[in-house]
Amino acid sequence: MNLILILHEPHIRHIVSQTIITLLNQRGIYVTDTLKRRSGRRDGLDYEFDIIAINGSEIVIVEVKTTLRPEDVRNFLKKLQHAKEWMPEYKDKTVYGAVAFISEDAGTATMAEKKGLFVIRVSGDSASIINMDNFIPKAW
């Protein structure tokens, strides 16, 4: 009998939230804390961020998808542009973005990296940043 494990976004979010501090520390962003499912309403707009990793001067906002599609990347980039307005407590912080996923539409991970996002692939019960070693994330 073959066993097929189907992971849904809440499980993927859990895996990423458990590993994000280590993953980012390995890339030189020494975050210490994480928040899950930050949501709110500002200026008539609802917003939600899946995971936020924080240290004294930087935050990394992570968008989690089961399957990452180009439209997901475009929508997330728009949200990142408003992050400091929507969460004014982070207005003095450097904001980076990341996308986490199990599968992708062809080329979407490359697209995300070219836009300056960390790219995190989830496999089983682990996750890894798949950006090239010399990757420099875009700051918002």
Does residue 61 contact residue 48 with C-beta atoms inside 8 Å?
no
Domain CATH code at residue 28? 3.40.1350.10
| E strand spans, 5-117 | 33-42, 45-54, 58-68, 94-104
For residues 112 and 89, what is the distance between their CA atoms, to the nearest angstrom?
A: 26
Question: What are 48-95's pLDDT values in tens digits?
Answer: 999 999 998 999 999 999 999 999 999 999 999 999 999 999 999 999
Q: Which two tokens stand for residue 40?
A: 């709110």
- Across 34-58, average pLDDT: 89
135 inside domain: no
Q: How confident is the model at residue 8 (pLDDT cuts 50, 70, 90)?
A: low
> Whole domain around residue 33: which residue ranges?
9-129
138 inside domain: no
140 inside domain: no
> For residue 7, is pLDDT > 70?
no
CB atoms within 10 A of CB 14: 15
136 inside domain: no
Q: How confident is the model at residue 10 (pLDDT cuts 50, 70, 90)?
A: low
For residues 12 and 17, what is the distance between their CA atoms, to the nearest angstrom?
A: 9
Residues 6+ apart with CB under 8 A from 96: 29, 58, 59, 60, 61, 116, 117, 118, 137, 138, 139, 140
Question: What are 99-140's pLDDT values in tens digits?
Answer: 999 999 999 999 999 999 999 999 888 899 999 989 999 999
How many domains does the chain contain in total?
1
Q: How confident is the model at residue 6 (pLDDT cuts 50, 70, 90)?
A: very low
- Across 4-8, average pLDDT: 46
Give the C-alpha distances (Å, rounded to integers) separating 127 from 14, 91, 107: 11, 29, 19
- Across 7-19, average pLDDT: 74
51 inside domain: yes
Q: How confident is the model at residue 16 (pLDDT cuts 50, 70, 90)?
A: confident
